[in-house]
A and B are shown apart, each in its own frame.
Chain A
Amino acid sequence: EAGVTQSPTHLIKTRGQQATLRCSPISGHTSVYWYQQALGLGLQFLLWYDEGEERNRGNFPPRFSGRQFPNYSSELNVNALELEDSALYLCASSPLAPQFFGPGTRLTVL
């Protein structure tokens, strides 16, 4: 069974640009979660999608948004990038519990 996949592996952007990160869940999982792991800040919850709808949102500005497609894959969009957005972005999927994580996308903002 294929695990959670994320693309791209690495992404380099400059301040003010937009970044799009993608996640494909494990087959049969309808929930997708996004987390940010910034240096020194630990793992923080960003967004939760289930059955195509946003179910919960962490304490992040509206520049962070996303969506879930009919096939349950998901996109995370970060607009107007700031230097502090540099982080590892992890996607997880679950039926309900437990959550299974992908390899992450490392975003660097210059």
Chain B
Amino acid sequence: DAKTTQPPSMDCAEGRAANLPCNHSTISGNEYVYWYRQIHSQGPQYIIHGLKNNETNEMASLIITEDRKSSTLILPHATLRDTAVYYCIVRVEGVGSGTYKYIFGTGTRLKVLA
């Protein structure tokens, strides 16, 4: 399975952009990159995903390098409510239809400062 590497923690000033990096150097051609976040002990929340093109939605932007070995999640205007653990995950398709699994790493603990 492809693995991801993220910095353990980051701080960001409220209102500024938060840029969270992720390395996935062993990613294969059909593996998507997903980002989730977990606030306190709540269930992880889906943020965004991409294969090779940059993606944007109402929550964030995802920038994937051309070689797909790394990506950056951008929260354009971080708020205190964005304080959470952010997980970068590569989803792997297994054998047989509908066989997938996420392997969560330790994530990046983002603290947004007032």
Whether both chains belong to one complex is answered with no
Residues of A within 8 A of B (CB): none
Task: Identify the B interface with A (CB < 8 A).
Answer: none
